[in-house]
Chains A and B, each alone.
Chain A
Amino acid sequence: EVQLVQSGAEIKKPGESLKISCKASGYIFTTYFIAWVRQMPDKGLEWLGIIYPGNSDTRYSPSFQGQVTFSADKSTSTAYLHWPSLKASDSAIYYCARPGVPKNYYSGLDVWGQGTTVTVSS
């Protein structure tokens, strides 16, 4: 079964760093892009960007460029989303998701992680 399993909920203070994970199973991790999507409380969905684990090629939404970093570990089939310095406005649910077509991000996101809730509060 194709699955993306994300790390658990996090509570952090402003200014702290954070890395959340998304572990893939059931498919060849290096052949599909992984996208990251944010959902702020009771709000819609926002695309942060995408990474290709095969070569770590990344594309960021301009709204999130410089705010977050994507990475991927091929040895553990895990993608990561990293914040060097959190803000209260980063509080949200973060999803990783996989396009339905290998080696291509021109596709709907057909596999989703369960989401990681990040709470940033002093």
Chain B
Amino acid sequence: DTVLTQSPGTLSLSPGERATLSCRASQTVSSAFLAWYQQKPGQAPRLLIYDASTRATAIPDRFSGSGSGTDFTLTISRLEPEDFALYYCQQYGASPWTFGQGTKVEIK
């Protein structure tokens, strides 16, 4: 299985700051088939980025994804109050699909 390791576990930042979240895979993610999701308490995950760098429908452009091979990054250029949440990466290039353990972005 492809293990995804997210870092850091928790990111403490203030609104307006830049957030950089990392997702490292234990093996190459085929065709950059990697997605990022946001999850808030009591809600289902929401797709932010797919194919490593393509924003999903209606996702603000302050969210961007990059990377290839085994190293991927989600960047939130300027944190808005509604961005404080849990973020997961997921690979869908090899079965079984796997998720990272999550990064919590919290208000400093």
Contact = CB atoms under 8 A, between A and B. Distances in A.
A49 B45 CA distance: 17
Contacts of B37: 45, 108-109
Nearest to B86: A44
Contacts of A45: 37, 45, 88, 90, 99
Contacts, number: 66
A59 B95 contact: yes
A105 to B, nearest CB: 7
B84 interface: no
Interface residues of A, number: 25
Main secondary structure of the interface of B (DSSP, over half): loop
B96 A61 contact: yes
Given A44-B102, A46-B99, A108 B49 contact: yes
Taking residues whose C-beta sits less than 8 angstroms from the other chain, chain B's interface range is 20 to 34
B88 A44 contact: yes
A55 B37 CA distance: 29
A95 B43 CA distance: 11
Interface string B5-28: 000000000000000000000000
Interface of B: 1, 31, 33, 35, 37, 44-47, 49-51, 56-57, 88, 90, 92-93, 95-102
16 contacts: A35-B97, A44-B99, A45-B88, A47-B90, A47-B97, A106-B33, A106-B92, A107-B51, A107-B92, A108-B90, A109-B35, A109-B45, A109-B90, A110-B57, A112-B45, A113-B44
Given A45-B99, A61-B95, A95-B44, 20 more contacts: A35-B97, A44-B101, A45-B88, A46-B99, A47-B90, A62-B1, A63-B96, A95-B45, A97-B44, A100-B47, A105-B92, A106-B33, A106-B92, A108-B56, A108-B90, A109-B35, A109-B45, A109-B90, A112-B46, A113-B44
